[in-house]
Amino acid sequence: MIFLAFLVVVVLAALWVMGMYNGLVRSRNEVRNSWGQIDVQLKRRHDLIPNLVEAVKGYMGHERNTLEAVTKARQQAIQVTGDVAERAKAENVLSQTLRSLFAVAEAYPDLKANQNFLALQEELSSTENKISFARQYYNDAVMRINNKIQMFPSNILASSFNFQMEKFFEVEAAAERQAPQVKF
């Protein structure tokens, strides 16, 4: 009878450890999936930018520096292969250059009335919203796995199986924390 009780305790402990391990794996996969969702939206934004630059180019020929800055920032954002912090930094630079493009576009009434430009602006705005929601979901997923990695008793299992803390997708500069205000 004692052996049977011992066996039940061992089986329950093993099931508990397996449940904790599977929860850690599920959380890690959720972080990876949520980063993939951000990646999809960033790719969409990267694909829209050349069309936006082309639409603006005809109206803003002498604003070449702004157009080149947007194109350069887009290329740098596409080429970043580092961790979340490096990607976030490149994407934040791209967001800033897009804001400057829209600010310069204010001076061109014909451009503001152009249907192609308006459609691209709407698409980009929609994509920016999706990126924002995807970042929020990613950061929530990161918080969940980081909590599991740091909280007892799952922290013991997490360190045993080398689960690593994930980095949040953070805005670095205070100016970037403010929502862009684009009015056409």
Q: How confident is the model over 90-136, as pLDDT tens digits?
A: 988 898 888 888 887 777 777 767 777 788 888 888 998 999 999 99
Lowest mean pLDDT among 10-14, 81-85, 92-96, 176-180: 176-180
4 is a domain residue: no
pLDDT for position 114: 75
CA distance 83 to 68: 26
Residue 65 confidence class, pLDDT cut points 50, 70, 90:
confident
3 is a domain residue: no
1 is a domain residue: no
User: Residue 75 above 80 pLDDT?
Assistant: yes
Q: Return the CATH number at 137.
A: 1.20.1440.20
Q: Which domain holds residue 73?
A: 12-177
CA distance 54 to 120: 11
5 is a domain residue: no
pTM comes to 0.75
184 is a domain residue: no
33 is a domain residue: yes
| Helix or strand (DSSP H, E) at 12 | helix 2-57
Number of domains in the chain: 1
182 is a domain residue: no
